[in-house]
Structure 1
Amino acid sequence: MINLQNIEKVYRTSTIETLALNNINLHIRTGEFVSIMGPSGCGKSTLLNLMGLLDAPSAGRVEIGGETVTQYRDKELARLRNQKIGFIFQSFHLINDLSVLDNVEIPLLYRKGDASGPSRRQLAREALEKVGLSNRMNHFPNQLSGGQKQRVAIARAIVGQPSIILADEPTGNLDSAMGNEIMSILQQLNADGATIVMVTHDETMAKKTHRLVRLFDGAMVGDSVLMSNA
């Protein structure tokens, strides 16, 4: 599903060069739930951004769903992101002036020739039902708790029925109870067929996934199977 081969990522300025990722080789199979851990600044979010086609490697090859995307143009990358990848962020990134339902519908607005307005609304409602927020669809983000905001963010990520979900610290801003609820939703989405990659600092959350990849100073230093996804 996701294949990274000999990946390097270098950030350069006029005075300094920083090696963010160094010779990363990682294959994530369809249906896996993989967590990525490591200290701050070790390259976790950079790696997730490469998987999500939000950034390009300085060297190496990226394959998503069997497509080699390293040489794709921006328009082709945007198409692939919109069709196959859902993003969940630690800080939710909801638009406060839009209702919950409108926030969830946003990704569908960028799909050319796809669902009509009424169909988009129905897909957004169904996504909110999956995360248990059908009774909050007409509320606004500032009327929700942190856990509810993250559920909205998950609904927005899954409304287009992506095969891949990338989550960057999805429980990082939540207390343990709310964090466990969010993890339960992610586990159910995985059980329903989604391939999930999650960056986390929480060892307890990581142990609820199939596999744990550890980074240090931009390099992979561990890759452990925690449970089978067969």
Structure 2
Amino acid sequence: MITLKNIEKVYRTSSIETLALTNINLDIRAGEFISIMGPSGCGKSTLMNLMGLLDAPSQGSVEIGGQAVTHYRDKELAQLRNQKIGFIFQSFHLINDLSVLDNVEIPLLYRKGDATGASRRELARQALERVGLSNRIKHFPNQLSGGQKQRVAIARAIVGRPDIILADEPTGNLDSGMGNEIMAILQQLNTDGSTIVMVTHDESMAKKTHRLVRLFDGSMVGDSSIGQGALSMETGIGRVFPSEEQSTL
């Protein structure tokens, strides 16, 4: 579903060059739920931006659904993002002046060929129902709790029925109880067929995914199945995580 080959990302200014990612080779299969961990500044957000076609590698290639996209034009990348990828952010990124329903409908406004406003609103209602917020469609973001805002953000990410969901610290601004509820929603979406890549600092949340990729100083230092023990970034020694039953809504 997502393939990164020999990825290098360099940020340059007139006086300095910063190597953000180097020698990244990663293949994420359809239906996987991947977590990415590492210390601040290790390249997690840069890697997520490359997967989400928000940035381009300095070297190497990116494939989405078998399509090599490295040389796509901006308009082609935007269209592919809109059709294939849903984004969930730590800070929600909701528009306070719009209702919950209007916020969720936004991605559909940029889709060519999508029909009437009524059909878009029905899809938005269905997405909100999936995350348990059908009774909040007329509310505004400032009338919601943090967990409810994240549910709206998830509904917005899935309203276009993308194949891939990219979640950047989706539980980072939530308490543990609400974080577990959000993870249960993501697990259910994955069970329903979505491929999910999640950046997190929370080891307990990473344990709920299928596979853990660790980054350090822009390099991959671990890639292993959670059930078989994830690699310790510091020592490279396998650690066995206890198995956990998937939560449901």
**What is the TM-score normalised by the length of structure 1?**
0.98
Shift of 1:116: 1.4
Shift of 1:33: 0.1
The question of 1:125 aligning with 2:125 is answered yes
Q: Percent identity?
A: 86
Shift of 1:115: 2.6
**What is the TM-score normalised by the length of structure 2?**
0.91
Measure the CA separation in 2 of the matches of 1:48 and 1:227: 24
Partner of 1:5, secondary structure, is strand
Letter in 1 for 2:36: I
Partner of 1:209, secondary structure, is coil
Measure the CA separation in 2 of the matches of 1:182 and 1:115: 31
Match for residue 144 of structure 1? 144
Match for residue 26 of structure 1? 26
Measure the CA separation in 1 of the matches of 2:202 and 2:31: 22
Measure the CA separation in 2 of the matches of 1:115 and 1:53: 26
Which is bigger in relative contact order (C-alpha 8 A, separation at least 6)? 1
Letter in 1 for 2:50: L
Partner of 2:47, secondary structure, is helix
Q: Cα deviations across residues 147-179 of structure 1 (Å, max 9, x unaligned)?
A: 000000000000000000000000000000000
Shift of 1:15: 0.6
Match for residue 155 of structure 2? 155
Measure the CA separation in 2 of the matches of 1:184 and 1:116: 32
The question of 1:210 aligning with 2:210 is answered yes
Which runs of no fewer than 5 residues in structure 1 stay unpaired? none
Equivalent residues, number: 228
Runs of 4+ with deviation above 4 angstroms: none
RMSD value, Cα: 0.7
Match for residue 236 of structure 2? none
Partner of 2:157, secondary structure, is helix
Measure the CA separation in 1 of the matches of 2:69 and 2:15: 30
Partner of 1:92, secondary structure, is coil
Letter in 2 for 1:176: S
Measure the CA separation in 2 of the matches of 1:219 and 1:54: 20
Measure the CA separation in 2 of the matches of 1:203 and 1:17: 32
